[in-house]
Amino acid sequence: MDCFISISDIVESAAFARVCKSAAFIAGAVIVWFVFKKIYLKTAARHQKVDNVEGEEVQSSLTSAVFGGVKIALFIFTVLSVLEVNGVNVTSLITGLGIAGAVAGLALQDFIKDTIMGLRIVADKFYFVGDVIEYNGIEGIVIEFNLRSTRIRSIDTHDEVTISNRNIDAIKKRSHLYDIDVPISYDEDFRRVNAIMYSISKDIGNADGIESCQYKGTQAFDSSNVKYRIRIFCMPEDRPELRRMCPRIIQRRLDAEGIRIPFDQLDVHTYPAEKAELPEREAAENGV
């Protein structure tokens, strides 16, 4: 009987009630987290199967950012709820944390900047997971994005690089456009060169990995050559291989047509001996 009374007293005690409420909050948070995580994983898997459609890319990046935000918010809510159930004055705690937060904010400036810039990237639709961007001379595919950082995989070396979102000003989104300027000697007939270059652009356009190719004509007159521009459109991640393939096609065709690719050279103009001595005679006659 004593045992029964003691157990009953425990069940009816305030401490036991607080433990039960705390456990209920924690269990509820865990259930909500697993349900949310399952929904997130299904959403992420669906986005991976969809082609690069802008709307889907926005949702993919936004979903990743929201996932991280919900995780933090759920954790904070659970901790505060458990503290309040156990008699902690949460209001005073939050006030104290606010003062401490102001101090900590100075040390967390970079974190805050990263988060703000992460929201800006999502809002402006600057880039998405799967896009190719350039940072500090490195071109890479965006493989992961959150509110704090962006992770890319180099299209040249496959190295993975993490970029803080606060460095958005140094990031460039790469387009599908890529220009090749071909130097040709001034000695070549430009009409013949134009016809050959137009034919070369059609050959390049039929190559694997090329979306389309356009011959743009004369681009510039340099000191030792005329530059003719060919413009290709391709996926940015295919560009490293196409940078090697396209010049090979151009070189072989120009060689077959007997057209030289010139190198920088210096023209030296000489004068007859009489003209060279003339300034010296005039100087002597003038008594210089």
The string of pLDDT tens digits covering residues 99-109 is: 666 656 666 77
The predicted pLDDT at position 267 comes to 65
The predicted pLDDT at position 218 comes to 92
SS3 label, residue 214: strand
CATH of the domain spanning 124-173, picked from 3.30.420.10, 3.40.50.620, 3.40.50.300, 2.30.30.60: 2.30.30.60
In single-letter form, the type of residue at position 135 comes to Y
pLDDT of residue 272 exceeding 70? no
The predicted pLDDT at position 252 comes to 93
The predicted pLDDT at position 85 comes to 74
Where do the structural domains in the chain lie, given as residue ranges? 2-88, 124-173, 177-257
The string of pLDDT tens digits covering residues 125-181 is: 888 888 999 999 899 999 999 888 999 999 988 899 999 999 989 999 988 898 999
User: Measured between alpha carbons, how far is 165 from 171 in angstroms, rounded to an integer?
Assistant: 9
- Reading the block at residue 61, the tokens are 């990046």
Q: How sure is the predictor about 217, in pLDDT bands with cuts at 50, 70 and 90? A: very high
pLDDT of residue 192 exceeding 90? yes
CATH class as words, domain 177-257: alpha beta
CB atoms under 10 Å from CB of 128, counted, come to 22
User: Measured between alpha carbons, how far is 9 from 76 in angstroms, rounded to an integer?
Assistant: 33
The predicted pLDDT at position 31 comes to 86
pLDDT of residue 271 exceeding 70? no
pLDDT of residue 23 exceeding 70? yes
Residue 229, H or E segment: strand 226-234
The predicted pLDDT at position 276 comes to 54
The predicted pLDDT at position 214 comes to 93
The string of pLDDT tens digits covering residues 218-252 is: 999 988 899 999 999 999 888 888 988 999 999 99
